[in-house]
Amino acid sequence: MLISHRSNAPDNATLIGFTNLRHARTTRPMVIEKGRGIFLIDENGREYIEGTSSFYSAALGFSDPDLVEAAIRQMRQLPAYASGLYRTVPVALALGEKLASMAPLANARVAFASTGSEANDFLIKFMRFGNAHRGEPKRVKVIARAGSYHGATMSTAPLGGFPGTARAFNLPMDDVITVSQPDYVNSAFAGEDEAAFTARMLGEIERAIERAGPETVGAMILDPVSFSAGCVLPPAGYLTGLRNLLDRHSILLFDDEVITGFCRTGSMFAAETFAMRPDCMTLAKALSAAYVPISAIVMDGDFYDALEHGSDDEGTFAHAATYGGHPVAAAVALRMIEIIEERDLLGHVRRVGPRLHQHLASLAGHPMVFNTRGVGLGGAVQLHSLPNAAGSRGQAMQEAMMAEGLLLRVVKDTINFAPPLIITLAEVDELFARFVRALGAVERAEVAA
């Protein structure tokens, strides 16, 4: 027998990311055993509301029978087959057709991958291929915004400029240009109105492009609502001005809809909510409600043409992934899109979203609350940071919310909300009741300290 038994029997042979690994030697992680609707139950029988859909992904909650059924049906029909060498499966073709018809892109084409990181990584790789074959091999750099998150791979972790995800791993950063997150709430100068702020942000990007050499810049990637930066909404005029600016330098706009895609912002895609005109989009998470791993790269016709020409030059487009277009994942994603239509999830988001916004707005006068914001079925409460202790209130809230049975994503002192799209009005009320109790507990603890 080759099974080894670890002598001190820790429960943590599995590396769990965004965790202090030494801490993990002695402390058992939170272990979730089952879920029903928006609720989760941990191994100790404690129940939680998952108010950020498990990393913004579980769009239908944790017990949707139709998605499970779609997976089982496909498992029985054909559980595995890799798309490549011009062989594929019907569900991958059908999903490609469907996404191409839904995306707000002209003559859209679709490629599949398994994760959001992989979709962004492949897209950057495709861009480099296309540019190399249309005589612009130097156009490889990608502009990204500080605080945005686009993935965990070698090419995507440096996008967003988090020191921990890129520099700490000693990743190559030469082809990344980091610009400011357009966070009007937190980064505007005193007295600066939104238009002036937007102009300043765009000016910074223009200067960064000029410094890098416009002929070396291939694309800018952005998450239209940056949840990783604390639910930052695009300031007025930013996305239109940005598109014009990028057009002037023949730089592409990549729309990372990994979180925002599929109803989150009150439209099918955030590109529609904010009248943004991207060249390519990446999708993941809600695409399959996160029941199975699948992601997609949606490219407009011009972008795809460059790939086609390149494949003429090379004789092939030498790219595939064993699980890109996996039949079970594609079947679940197809069913997810049907469910969005059958159950009018967009209508539901538009009905329930305002209740979430009402609750957020009702907290605006609270002494601990600095700002609240919302869009679609998402939003944030930003607390005043304690002097010299930024993030400590967020941390205290994290613990207080867990004690109340509420899981929300905390970014420093900002608490993000993005519940499963199926949440009911009564459940939104319950989520906020727990949130307010947690806020009260933190407030009382501060007074007592």
Ligand X SMILES: Cc1ncc(COP(=O)(O)O)c(C=O)c1O
Answer yes or no whether residue 407 interacts with ligand X by CB under 6 A. no
Distances from the Cα of 446 to the Cα of 81, 221, 381, 397, angstroms: 57, 40, 18, 11
Specify the stretch interacting with ligand X by CB under 6 A; choose among 116-124, 235-243, 390-398, 406-414. 116-124
Answer yes or no whether residue 160 interacts with ligand X by CB under 6 A. no
Beta-carbon contacts of 108 under 8 Å, excluding residues fewer than 6 positions away, are: 99, 100, 101, 298, 299, 300, 301
Give the count of residues interacting with ligand X (CB under 6 A): 15
Answer yes or no whether residue 410 interacts with ligand X by CB under 6 A. no
Site for ligand X in 217-236 (CB under 6 A): 223, 228
Name which position in 141, 145, 150, 434 contacts ligand X (CB under 6 A). 150
Answer yes or no whether residue 54 interacts with ligand X by CB under 6 A. no
Specify burial of residue 180 (Cβ count, 10 A radius: 0-12, 13-18, 19+). Answer: middle
Specify the stretch interacting with ligand X by CB under 6 A; choose among 2-10, 13-21, 112-120, 129-137. 112-120
Cβ-based nearer residue to ligand X, 120 or 267: 120
Specify the stretch interacting with ligand X by CB under 6 A; choose among 25-33, 128-136, 144-152, 180-188. 144-152
Task: Annotate each residue in 246-285 with x if it binds ligand X (CB under 6 A) or - if it does not, as one string.
Answer: ----------x-xx------------------------x-
Answer yes or no whether residue 165 interacts with ligand X by CB under 6 A. no
Which of 243, 229, 217 is closest to 143 using CA atoms?
A: 217
Question: Measured from the CB of residue 55, what is the shortest distance to ligand X in angstroms?
Answer: 5
At residue 110, what are phi and psi to the nearest 5 degrees?
Answer: -130, 135
Answer yes or no whether residue 321 interacts with ligand X by CB under 6 A. no
Name which position in 88, 115, 155, 382 contacts ligand X (CB under 6 A). 115
Name which position in 116, 266, 278, 310 contacts ligand X (CB under 6 A). 116
Question: Measured from the CB of residue 368, what is the shortest distance to ligand X in angstroms?
Answer: 27
Question: Measured from the CB of residue 150, what is the shortest distance to ligand X in angstroms?
Answer: 5
Cβ-based nearer residue to ligand X, 258 or 333: 258
Cβ-based nearer residue to ligand X, 88 or 228: 228
Answer yes or no whether residue 50 interacts with ligand X by CB under 6 A. no
Q: β-strand 414-417 against 378-383: which pairing, if any?
A: antiparallel
Contact positions vs ligand X (CB under 6 A) = 55, 115-117, 120, 149-152, 223, 228, 256, 258-259, 284
